[in-house]
């Protein structure tokens, strides 16, 4: 059995996090999205093929010392076109997976079938492709129906025979201007008896706030491992990973689950709360960080609070800066994505800050706001709207 992972998209809904990193390589719970799935399947597939396009060089570098093959989708023309790029390498049953979804361990059971689609239960199936099933078999896929035939939704994971890659050739361009893999799936269902595999866990990573949710969920599975330097006055509670080369300084408190990667420095007097991942060479001084991913080289050095947020690489959070994560009216936080204000469904949601951003001292950022790649915020500001990449927020607005 082979595996094809579709990872070529630009991830525009995930901006600004994807300004410098392809979405499947964004880390959650200490490793890239795509790696979580590779770890699940590597024991039962003989070859893994990644279809990449946007920032393909980063995939080539990441997989340079592995047996993973990279094939290129030169133009983004949809998921069917992406899967088609691997056709010349397929001569047996193949597992096709989205590169921006994380699947639970039950996905391994798919190998027990000749051909099958994975699915998950959804509270809002009308927002997805819905599977119409009978006696454990898929009868059809209906895209975003007003009246869903079930609450089982397509989660982008399929075990198919080589014939499926021939059907991809017959897919016509959709109204969106793309070649959709669901059209090939519908043709395949008409030819094959396709079993349904209902999964125990599915973590979609399409929007920035889902990165925070997925990170928190996956950290629940870690076990304590203390290999770095922890000062005798520091306190480490519950399941915390402190990697070799990390340092936890005087009077700091870390409450798990949390991961402190090699080269990170915590404290003195830092408070790291549950759900936090500090990546390589991150510095957190006398500040509080809760349920947040902070990527390589970023710093929260002095008297700041960062909660329920996702922070890119080489970001500096100035002294006294705060990310607010709770609305005064206690409603769920909304976030603008590609011009549309969307409900995150999260009561607590902080900021999304792109790599290379600079946040001035004594700044407060309202819940659900995004600070763009290489953007900056002047000191003493209240950020009430998103700050585009490369721009500055000063005197209450973007300049």
Is residue 302 part of the annotated active site? The answer reads yes
Cβ within 8 Å of residue 312, ≥6 positions away: 16, 17, 20, 21, 295, 298, 353, 354, 355, 356, 357, 373
| CB-CB neighbours of 146 under 10 Å | 6
Are 318 and 357 contacting, i.e. CB atoms less than 8 angstroms apart?
no
| Beta-bridge partner residues of 323 | 365
Q: Which of 113, 231, 251, 302 is labelled catalytic?
A: 302
DSSP state of 192: S
DSSP string of 10-21, one letter each residue: --GGGTTGGGSS
Torsion of CA 391, 394, 398, 399, to 10 degrees: -70
Instruction: Return d(Cα 121, Cα 187) in angstroms, integer.
Output: 24
Beta strands in 22-82 (DSSP E): 27-28, 31-32, 47-52, 69-72
Active site residues: 302
């Amino acid at each position: 059995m082979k595996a094809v992972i579709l990872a070529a998209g630009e991830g525009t809904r995930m901006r600004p996090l994807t300004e410098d990193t392809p979405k499947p390589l964004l880390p959650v719970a200490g490793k890239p999205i795509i790696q979580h799935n590779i770890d699940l399947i590597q024991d039962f597939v003989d070859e893994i093929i990644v279809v990449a396009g946007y920032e393909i060089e980063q995939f080539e570098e990441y997989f340079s010392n592995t047996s993973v093959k990279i094939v290129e989708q030169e133009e983004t023309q949809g998921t069917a076109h992406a899967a088609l790029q691997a056709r010349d390498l397929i001569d047996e049953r193949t597992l096709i997976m989205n590169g921006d979804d994380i699947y639970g361990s039950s996905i391994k059971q798919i190998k027990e079938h000749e051909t099958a689609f994975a699915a998950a239960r959804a509270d809002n199936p009308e927002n997805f492709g819905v599977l119409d099933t009978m006696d454990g078999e898929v009868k059809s896929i209906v895209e975003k129906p007003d009246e869903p035939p079930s609450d089982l939704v397509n989660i982008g994971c399929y075990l198919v025979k080589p014939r499926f890659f021939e059907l991809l050739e017959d897919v016509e361009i959709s109204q969106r201007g793309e070649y959709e893999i669901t059209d090939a799936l519908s043709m395949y269902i008409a030819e094959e008896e396709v079993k349904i595999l209902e999964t125990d866990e599915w973590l979609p990573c399409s929007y920035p706030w889902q990165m925070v949710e997925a990170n928190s969920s996956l950290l629940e599975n870690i076990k304590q491992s203390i290999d770095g330097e922890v000062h005798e006055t520091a306190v480490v509670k519950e399941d915390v990973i402190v990697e070799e080369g990390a340092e936890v300084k005087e009077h700091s408190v870390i409450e798990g689950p949390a991961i402190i990667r090699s080269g990170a420095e915590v404290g003195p007097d830092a408070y790291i709360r549950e759900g936090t991942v500090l990546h390589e060479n991150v510095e957190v001084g006398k500040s509080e960080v809760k349920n947040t991913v902070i990527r390589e080289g970023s710093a929260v050095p002095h008297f700041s609070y960062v909660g329920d947020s996702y922070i890119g690489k080489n970001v500096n959070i100035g002294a006294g800066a705060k990310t607010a994560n709770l609305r005064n009216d206690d409603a769920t936080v909304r976030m603008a994505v590609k011009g549309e204000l969307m409900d995150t469904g999260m009561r607590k949601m902080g900021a999304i800050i792109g790599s290379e951003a600079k946040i001035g001292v004594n700044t407060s950022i309202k819940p659900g706001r995004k600070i763009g790649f290489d953007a900056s915020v002047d000191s003493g500001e209240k950020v009430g709207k998103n700050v585009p990449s490369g721009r500055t927020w000063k005197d209450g607005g973007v300049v």
